[in-house]
Structure 1
């Protein structure tokens, strides 16, 4: 066996959720109600690390923020997905990270200058810049596809708060986490939606105290602590976990930027040693490739 491949396999194996190898693909995560969603994200030191696909995850041939990439990822490992709703010119919520279409599609210009009917003709590019056969999904299409398959973390890209409330107040989707940019935004949703969870930045003691003042229960919180866990905030992490909240890191601007898969996975192992509860990555499939070896 190639030495690099052997190390890659070993490091990846560290990240595979315990029990996953005994399952059969696809690795769907189904939550049927809000109580099950809260239970899924309740801290328990015996739980394996949870992997989240940033921008819906991506693989060669499978673009970010596409249903196809998420479906492909779930053939490799269980994952939930951070996705990026954005409004078209005619106020349809679609999945698109950037303001412009140039990087991720064969169209050019600002997404907000196109109607949904116009965007239906666009084709998505994968991370390597190859044009695929896949189109831009609406948020509704993604939610309908995912409600029996996975969990979504919605990273708001300019959607008015009231529009999220209108979409989610029917409780048709029991699998939703809302990423918020402020305690004000968290309180707005908390006062109007009683069956969603919140991903909120709790990076230090000050953030923790600000969250406590909101009165939002800790069982509705996933604590985003930054790009890595740091020694000086261990007391904050301990307190959050004592309240049942999971610690969430995102490595898309750090370890995901390493040049080769081997270097990436070495970086992933460095984060795993620090024992976060959730890791968000551009490349969730890299955490599950040893399943096939």
Structure 2
């Protein structure tokens, strides 16, 4: 009888491990394990397929922005990396939330910075339509450990001090799958002094802005360039300048083409972004973008 129970327990454990492994394999992960992998993944080449960035993870009914559940749901449909929003609680815990206030995206009210992490745990996140979900605000540390081996995180610039951000990345040994959004060369220089291999998403919308990063000593290999939210004639010069240095160009549809009410119009716009010359497309609708881009050669 004991032998039967033992073998039954082993069988149950094997089935559990198989199911867990199968669940992990169902996510479409990115091939990034080292700093060099990260740099290689974002090095421009005209042979590379377009890369999708899920803005705040993506926005699907039932899945709130800046949540692990949303990141996983997106990866079930397409490989992607994620632009996320770190903010600071009253007791200096870094959590994910886009707004400075809780009202739009959670069941709480008021400023996030007025609450401790323990107090925030009682609130639940809302999806883009305002529906309350079962999910709570995650800490950045939780998201970093979830993302390891699965995807890349792009930290937007919010209210977290640079030193705290750098310290948390070091603590979790996460530089191989982290990117930092910077709005000025001086911000990139700060992070490079901490680690010369840091990867950045930089705002470059003109030749002069590119030259300012070059003069500051920010290596081309450490950058992707956000060039704006729309297709426009000036993009052609930027593609030539940036791609010539191995830098990928990103257009974000989150504030522009994602807002189109017709799905066919959105799909055409997504394909036009890639046809225009961008190699990274940031979007609130990463699953929809993946479907639209399947029709590209």
TM class by smaller structure? 0.7 to 0.9
Measured in 1, the distance between the counterparts of 2:208 and 2:217 equals: 15
Which residue of 1 is the match for residue 173 of structure 2?
A: 172
Residues 124-163 of structure 1 correspond to what in structure 2 (within 5 A)? 124-163=125-164
Which residue of 2 is the match for residue 277 of structure 1?
A: 279
1:198-234 Cα shifts (integer Å, max 9, x gaps): 1111111110111110111100011111113432342
Measured in 2, the distance between the counterparts of 1:283 and 1:92 equals: 29
Q: How many residues align?
A: 269
Are residues 1:261 and 2:263 paired? yes
Measured in 2, the distance between the counterparts of 1:76 and 1:141 equals: 22
Cα distance change of structure 1 residues 115 and 56 upon mapping to structure 2, 3 Å threshold? same
Which residue of 2 is the match for residue 237 of structure 1?
A: 239
Measured in 1, the distance between the counterparts of 2:48 and 2:209 equals: 26
Which residue of 1 is the match for residue 54 of structure 2?
A: 53
Measured in 2, the distance between the counterparts of 1:249 and 1:290 equals: 16
Structure 1 unaligned blocks of 5 or more:
1-23
Are residues 1:44 and 2:41 paired? no
Q: Is the 8 A contact 1:30 1:147 kept in 2?
A: no
Per the normalisation by structure 2, the TM-score is 0.86
Question: Larger radius of gyration, structure 1 or 2?
Answer: 2
Are residues 1:187 and 2:189 paired? yes
The secondary structure found in structure 1 opposite 2:66 is coil
Measured in 2, the distance between the counterparts of 1:51 and 1:153 equals: 12
1:167-207 Cα shifts (integer Å, max 9, x gaps): 12357111011001211111111111223201111111110
Measured in 2, the distance between the counterparts of 1:259 and 1:230 equals: 21
1:107-151 Cα shifts (integer Å, max 9, x gaps): 111111111001111100001110000010000000000011100
Residues 184-223 of structure 1 correspond to what in structure 2 (within 5 A)? 184-223=186-225
Measured in 2, the distance between the counterparts of 1:46 and 1:68 equals: 32
1:69-117 Cα shifts (integer Å, max 9, x gaps): 0000000000000000000111100000001111101111111111100
Which residue of 1 is the match for residue 14 of structure 2?
A: none
